[in-house]
Amino acid sequence: MTLLLVPTLLSSLLLLPTLLLTLIALTPVPAQAQLPTGTNIGQQNNVTSLRGTWSSGSGNVVTGLQFFNPANNTFTYPTTAGMSYSFTDDFHWEQALYIYQPKADNPYCVTAQLIWQHGTYSINGSNFISLQPFKGDGMQQIASRCTKTSQSVQPYNQPELMSGFEIHLDTHYGQSAYYLKMYGFDGTPKPLMWKVYDPPQMLPTVQLKEQVRRILLFSP
């Protein structure tokens, strides 16, 4: 009986990329909803909804399948470093980070870190944003120019607390655009991010690891 189960399990594993891409395609776009208002940093300047995909700099780093593929746990390296966050009106979020970190004693030895997470968020009455990742879904990869090797993709789970956020309307590359400015837990401002997609470009707003477990469990 054990031998008969092995082909079935292998067939289920081979179907995972197709099943995950189907899940992505079938995920509905959340309807517009009202976000809670706050009274702390930036609340008076929030001229539009937090909903959308926001990206720093030239916008080369964005959330979604073009940054991280959960079907095979692989990253696609953007052309430049940057950060991106996506938010829905029903309180789901996604994060994509591509970070360069040069060594102090040898600036040539640059370490590149890619991070992907998603989960749920809440906004309290003081305009704080609490970001809670889905357990087991977040991943990171670290590569060093000196060693010319990349570590394997590893689990990553890091909740975040933003002590406030501001949304303004300005000009970006000659066009009118909204930008988001968030503040870390200690009040340190993060880089500006511009709204590049609305509705947001995201992977399914469900715990993907749990979905894969269910697919394997109930596959024929």
Residue ranges covered by each domain of the chain: 2-218
Structure-model confidence comparison of residues 174 and 47, the more confident one: 174
Q: Which helix (H) or strand (E) holds 84?
A: strand 82-87
Q: Which helix (H) or strand (E) holds 183?
A: strand 175-183
* CB crowding 159-184: b at 16 or more within 10 Å, else e: ebebbbbbbeeeeeeeeeebbbbbbe
Least confident of 17-31, 109-123, 164-178: 17-31
Could you tell me how far CA 136 lies from the centroid of its own chain?
14
Please report where in the chains the tokens 């690891």 appear, as a residue. 209
Give the sign of the dihedral formed by CA 36, CA 132, CA 209, CA 140.
positive
Closest to 51 (Cα-Cα) out of 218, 195, 166: 195
**CB-based contact 194:55 (threshold 8 Å):** yes
Kindly report, residue by residue over 29-86, the tens digit of the pLDDT.
333 333 333 335 655 556 688 999 999 999 999 999 999 999 999 999 999 999 999 9
**220 vs 5, 6, 12, 204, CA distance in Å?**
10, 12, 8, 24
The secondary structure of residue 177, as a DSSP letter, is E
pLDDT band at 11 (very low <50, low <70, confident <90, very high): very low
pTM value is: 0.77
